[in-house]
Structure 1
């Protein structure tokens, strides 16, 4: 997947771990897909980890999850 703009961030895939990069290309958030279809995420500006599960059939789960946490 190519990098995708999500709000003020750029979503990029690095070997199966997804990052939200800020305007200076620093990591602002992390998204990690889980075997059960959920994603463990550290949203930008938060010290807490969230679990997000996209609905079945979402064509681009990483982008969908990124939009939910930003």
Structure 2
């Protein structure tokens, strides 16, 4: 399977499947959860959770392609 975000690839016939998405559930280390709890008190991005979300999204996409 080729995963693209364009309307065409020269020399290839494409089938549009529409919008697809995949999800995975992951857990962070308890210490990072505690630090994230403190971070929510003062506001701002929870970078460890942003990283985890990006990793989970990439894993979900990889599973769909494989």
Instruction: Sort the TM-score into its range (normalised by shorter chain).
Output: under 0.3
Which has the larger helix fraction? Answer: 2
Q: Which has the higher contact order (CA 8 A, sep 6+)?
A: 2
TM-score of the aligned structures, taking structure 1 as reference length: 0.26
